[in-house]
């Protein structure tokens, strides 16, 4: 069991440090919110966004009195639930659960640090693709002149998304055992 904790803590620390370092670079190189620097022409740019909401900016219009408490308590609650469900009920055949927990731990703490420091999360990775007619894939939005954009995100968001995929893969590989009929 100590090996599982070591994996979670090491991977979490890596995600937190990488997330905070890249956010530092974004803040140093992007002078104001909305400032953008292309780094893979037509596909990726660094665009500084102050995300006051949750994933994809959801819930950003909640009153501050509700939003601040919610976004400080929610990551801790999610980590507690994941800790209880993944670590306490861990089975050795669940290969991806410790990796997923480490990614979620690092991602949640990385974004929580931003909320405590700034009151919002620093997002900066802007992924998009060209569109001549303004039609975009689901979840992408059209921005004239540049194409179809995914909501701007950061390393912590990526880690959490990768964790969800790993858990989905793990659940297909190791389905929950059905109760035996007597």
In a domain, 7, yes or no: yes
- Please give the pLDDT value at position 132: 80
For residue 145, give Cα distances in angstroms to 100, 106, 131, 133, 181. 37, 35, 9, 11, 62
How many domains is the chain partitioned into structurally? 1
In a domain, 179, yes or no: no
In 3-state terms, what secondary structure has residue 145? coil
pTM for the predicted model, two decimal places: 0.79
In a domain, 181, yes or no: no
- Please give the pLDDT value at position 87: 63
Residues of the chain whose pLDDT is less than 50? none
In a domain, 92, yes or no: yes
- Please give the pLDDT value at position 147: 87
In a domain, 126, yes or no: yes
In a domain, 138, yes or no: yes
Alpha-carbon distance of 37 to 46, in angstroms, equals 5
Catalytic residues: 123, 157
- Please give the pLDDT value at position 67: 65
- The domain of 20 spans 2-172
- Please give the pLDDT value at position 38: 85
Question: What mean pLDDT value characterizes the chain?
Answer: 82
């Amino acid at each position: 069991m100590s090996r599982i904790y070591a994996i979670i803590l090491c991977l979490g620390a890596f995600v937190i440090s990488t997330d905070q370092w890249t956010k530092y670079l974004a803040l140093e190189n992007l002078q104001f919110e909305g400032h953008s620097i292309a780094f893979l022409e037509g596909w990726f740019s660094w665009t500084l966004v102050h995300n006051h909401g949750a994933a994809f900016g959801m819930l950003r219009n909640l009153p501050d009195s509700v939003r601040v408490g919610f976004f400080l308590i929610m990551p801790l609650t999610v980590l507690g639930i994941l800790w209880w469900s993944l670590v306490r009920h861990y089975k050795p055949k669940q290969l991806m659960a410790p990796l997923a927990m480490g990614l979620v731990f690092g991602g949640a703490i990385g974004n929580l640090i931003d909320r405590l420091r700034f009151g919002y999360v620093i997002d900066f990775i802007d992924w998009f693709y060209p569109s001549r007619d303004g039609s975009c894939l689901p979840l992408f939005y059209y921005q004239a002149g540049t194409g179809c954009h995914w909501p701007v995100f950061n390393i912590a968001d990526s880690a959490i998304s990768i964790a969800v995929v790993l858990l989905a893969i793990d659940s297909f590989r190791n389905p929950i055992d059905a109760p035996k009929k007597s």
